[in-house]
C-alpha cells in the first residue's frame, strides 16, 4: 500500500508548484514592456471612446451619468488585448522547447493549464480595475451627484469579467495548438470574435427558421448583454462557465496530443 504520509507531503508541494507557475506567468507579463503597452492601449482606447471622440459612446456628449459606452467598447478591445496576453503561454514554451520540462514538474496537465489560465485572468482583472476611475468621474459629474444606475453598472462589470474569463480560455486554447505566437494571436482573435458576435451574424441571416433564436444564444454577446442589464440569470452564468470549461478541456486535449 502507498505511504499515506507521502500523499500528505505531495499535496502541498503540488499546490506550491501551481502557485509558483501562476506567479511566473503574471510577473513575466508585468515585467515586460509588452505587458504595460497592452494594458495602456486598453485604457487609452476606452478613454478616447468615452471622453474624446464625438460619437454616441462619448459621456460628455451623451449628457447622462452612464458609462454604458465602456461596456460597448471594451469587449472589442478585449478581442485584441486578451489574445496578446495569452499568445505566449504555450506557444513560447513549445518554441523554446521548455514544454517538456514544464510537464515534468509534479503537476498534471490540467493543473499547468489552470495555473496559466488564472494568471491570464488576473492580468485581465488588472486591466479592468483602472476603469473604475471612469465610474468615479461619472459618479461625481452626475446631477445630483451619484445619479447613476449602480445595479446596471455592477452587472455590466460582472458581464465584462465573465466575457474576459471566456476569452482567456479561448486564447489559451489558441496558444496550445501552435508554437508561433503571431499565429496564436491571430487564431485567438478569430475564435474570440466568432464566439462573441459570429452567431449574431448567423442569426441575422435567418437561415434556420425557428432555430435562429437558439443559434443566437450560442454566442457570448447575447449572454453578455443580458447580464449588462443588471439581471444576473443563472442560465447566463452557466453558459459562461460552460464556455470556460469547454476550452480548458480542449486545451488539455491539445497539450496531451504531444504524447500521441
Question: What one-character-per-residue DSSP string does the chain give?
Answer: ---HHHHHHHHHHHHHHHHHHHHHHHHHHHTSHHHHHHHHHHHHHHHIIIIIS-STT-HHHH-SS--HHHHHHHHHHHHHHHHHHHTTTTHHHHHHT-HHHHHTSS--HHHHHHHHHHHHHHHHHHHHGGGHHHHHHHHHHSSSTT-S-HHHHHHHHHHHHHHHHHHHHHHHHHHHT-S-HHHHHHHHHHHHHIIIIIHHHHHHTT-SGGGHHHHHHTSHHHHHHHHHTT---HHHHHHHHHHHHHHHHHHHHHHHGGG-
| pLDDT of 100 | 67
Q: pLDDT band at residue 7, thresholds of 50, 70 and 90?
A: very low
Q: Is the pLDDT of residue 4 over 80?
A: no
pLDDT digits (tens, 9 = 90+) for 31-78: 878 778 888 888 888 888 887 777 776 766 666 667 778 888 899 999
pTM: 0.86
137-180, pLDDT tens digit by residue?
Answer: 877 776 677 667 777 788 889 999 999 999 999 999 999 998 88
Amino acid at each position: 500500500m502507498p505511504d499515506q504520509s507521502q500523499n500528505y507531503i505531495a499535496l502541498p508541494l503540488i499546490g506550491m508548484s501551481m502557485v509558483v507557475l501562476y506567479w511566473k506567468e503574471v510577473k513575466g507579463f508585468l515585467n515586460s514592456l509588452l505587458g504595460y503597452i497592452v494594458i495602456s492601449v486598453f485604457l487609452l482606447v476606452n478613454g478616447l471612446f468615452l471622453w474624446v471622440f464625438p460619437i454616441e459612446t462619448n459621456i460628455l456628449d451623451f449628457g447622462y451619468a452612464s458609462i454604458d459606452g465602456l461596456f460597448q467598447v471594451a469587449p472589442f478591445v478585449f478581442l485584441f488585448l486578451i489574445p496578446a496576453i495569452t499568445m505566449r503561454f504555450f506557444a513560447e514554451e513549445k518554441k523554446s522547447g521548455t514544454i517538456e520540462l514544464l510537464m515534468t514538474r509534479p503537476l498534471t496537465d490540467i493543473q499547468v493549464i489552470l495555473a496559466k489560465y488564472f494568471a491570464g485572468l488576473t492580468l485581465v482583472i488588472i486591466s479592468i480595475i483602472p476603469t473604475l476611475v471612469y465610474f468615479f468621474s461619472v459618479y461625481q459629474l452626475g446631477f445630483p451627484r451619484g445619479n447613476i444606475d449602480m445595479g446596471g453598472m455592477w452587472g455590466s462589470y460582472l458581464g465584462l469579467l465573465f466575457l474576459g474569463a471566456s476569452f482567456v480560455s479561448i486564447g489559451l486554447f489558441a496558444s496550445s495548438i501552435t508554437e508561433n505566437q503571431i499565429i496564436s494571436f491571430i487564431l485567438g482573435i478569430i475564435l474570440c470574435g466568432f464566439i462573441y458576435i459570429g452567431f449574431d451574424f448567423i442569426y441575422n441571416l435567418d437561415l434556420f427558421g425557428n432555430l435562429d433564436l437558439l443559434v443566437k444564444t450560442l454566442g457570448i454577446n447575447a449572454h453578455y448583454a443580458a447580464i449588462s442589464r443588471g439581471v444576473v440569470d443563472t442560465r447566463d452564468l452557466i453558459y459562461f462557465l460552460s464556455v470556460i470549461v469547454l476550452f480548458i478541456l480542449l486545451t488539455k486535449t491539445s497539450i496531451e496530443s504531444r504524447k500521441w
